[in-house]
Amino acid sequence: MNYDSLMIHYGELSTKGENRKMFVRELNKNIRHALKGMNAVTTFDHDHTYVRFEGDPMPIISRLQKVSGIQRISLVYKSDRDIEKLKEDALSLIKLEEGKTFKVNTKRGDKTYPLQSLELSRVLGGQILKNTDLKVDVHNPDITLNVDVRKDAIYLSSHTYMGAGGYPLGMNGKVMMMLSGGIDSPVAAYMMLRRGIKIECIHFAAPPYTSDAVLDKLKDIVKKLNVYQESVKLNIVPFTKLQLAIYQYVAEPYCITIMRRMMYRIAERVARRHNCVGIASGESIGQVASQTLDSMVTINNVTSFPVIRPLAVTDKLDIIKLSQEIETYDISIRPYEDCCTIFKPKKPKTRPKISECEYYESLFDWKTLLDECVENVNAIMIKDGEEVDFENK
């Protein structure tokens, strides 16, 4: 015998009372999508989702670990409520494990079961002590046999894997993610997705100053994000004309600030048009001149739309680690020219003032140029790692 199922624990969902049914339904839809093409059959009840599998469970587990809304995944064997059968199964399972000490941990989800939790732990523990060389250690055991008493069966497990946590994707609306070709923004996108927030991406391109290689890079990044969201739209904004105007009319130290104010204005317009409830970016406080708190306040002043900065207080080293985990790091470090880096001023203002920005913005007709950017957005859809045709841009 061996483990034959996975038991998925919902985590934070359990606190959601009324909305629970919807959460569970949404999560199960996402689970089925994640396991498409695998030898796995899913069922669910009020508390858990079960996945019956054949063969090696690890590929299934690693896919499930990327589904937001899952807190833990236990490798389980579905045993019987009959005590003799249960004793036999518990013994067989513990013999599969390596170690010298053990403990039995019983959770009685079904309170009508005739044995109390402690009694059941004792009976099973006795069976194991009698038939193996294992010793009991309740504080720091090598093996913990978890016994979950439920109405339909009793589940035995001793391996648990952490899930991504958060909420099922789609439960918390959609945001417009500002995606550059750098390390930070893909990680910020992942943080949003992990929380169950859907994304659409927006990128500001300045051809011919930025090359098509940037576009390939962005597509490769989005393909990695498809692991968490089946299809992701990437909106490319033709930013060159507006950017050149900025460099013509604005004093150099203010160029980056004004450029970013324009980015936020455009992002908000496209976001509203596409039913997004906010904007997200990969900004991190203090990382560069345009990301001091003062700078962020001055930039943010152009929008009343919610702006989420998941990495605001995250350390660069932690960001890099996450980008390696989600496999975007190697793509992000490919050399490229971002519209920010090409026009980089020598001495950007670290404490830009709103009044100064407004003065520079009064010097040219940015509104017409901005309208042009919004009207000429080119949208690409990337689904399951492939660029797909789509209408209705």
> Which parts of this chain interact with ligand ATP (CB under 6 A)?
178-180, 182-185, 202-204, 281-283, 287-288, 290-291, 338-340
Q: How many residues of this chain interact with Mg ion, rule: CB under 5 A?
A: 3
Q: Based on CB atoms, which residue is closest to ligand ATP, 99 or 207?
A: 207
341 φ, ψ to 5°?
Answer: -75, -35
204 binds, among Mg ion, ligand ATP, none (CB under 5 to 8 A by kind): ligand ATP
Q: Based on CB atoms, which residue is closest to Mg ion, 26 or 338?
A: 338
DSSP string of 162-182, one letter each residue: E---S--TTTT-EEEEE--SS
183 binds, among Mg ion, ligand ATP, none (CB under 5 to 8 A by kind): ligand ATP
Q: Based on CB atoms, which residue is closest to ligand ATP, 90 or 296?
A: 296
Q: Based on CB atoms, which residue is closest to ligand ATP, 184 or 361?
A: 184
49 binds, among ligand ATP, Mg ion, none (CB under 5 to 8 A by kind): none
Give least dist CB 192 to ligand ATP, A: 11
d(CA 205, CA 225): 20
Residue nearest to ligand ATP (CB): 182
Interactions with Mg ion, residue window 331-360 (CB under 5 A): 338
Residues 15-54, mask of contacts with Mg ion (x by CB under 5 A): ----------------------------------------
d(CA 282, CA 323): 12
Cβ neighbour number for residue 104 with a 10 Å cutoff: 27
288 binds, among Mg ion, ligand ATP, none (CB under 5 to 8 A by kind): ligand ATP
CB distance 97 to 158 below 8 Å: yes
Give least dist CB 242 to ligand ATP, A: 12
d(CA 129, CA 44): 35
Give least dist CB 368 to ligand ATP, A: 21
178 binds, among Mg ion, ligand ATP, none (CB under 5 to 8 A by kind): ligand ATP
282 binds, among ligand ATP, Mg ion, none (CB under 5 to 8 A by kind): ligand ATP
Q: Based on CB atoms, which residue is closest to Mg ion, 180 or 229?
A: 180
d(CA 285, CA 292): 6
Interactions with Mg ion, residue window 171-190 (CB under 5 A): 180, 182
Structure tokens at 276: 């997004």
Strand, helix or coil at 201?
Answer: strand
281 binds, among ligand ATP, Mg ion, none (CB under 5 to 8 A by kind): ligand ATP
| Burial letters 342-352, b for 16+ CB under 10 A, else e | ebebeebbeeb
Q: Based on CB atoms, which residue is closest to ligand ATP, 57 or 282?
A: 282
Q: Based on CB atoms, which residue is closest to ligand ATP, 171 or 199?
A: 199
Q: Based on CB atoms, which residue is closest to ligand ATP, 178 or 258?
A: 178
Q: Based on CB atoms, which residue is closest to ligand ATP, 31 or 263?
A: 263
d(CA 282, CA 268): 16
- SS3 letters across 84-115: HHHHHHHHHHHCCCCCCEEEEEEEECCCCCCC
Give least dist CB 137 to ligand ATP, A: 48
DSSP state at residue 349: -
Bridge partner residues of 232 (DSSP): 382
Indicate the length of the chain as a whole number.
Answer: 393
> How big is the CA angle at 115 (ends 108 and 17), to the nearest 5 degrees?
20
79 binds, among Mg ion, ligand ATP, none (CB under 5 to 8 A by kind): none
Closest CA to 285 of 274, 295, 272: 295
d(CA 89, CA 152): 16
Structure tokens at 47: 């508390």
Interacting residues with Mg ion (CB under 5 A): 180, 182, 338
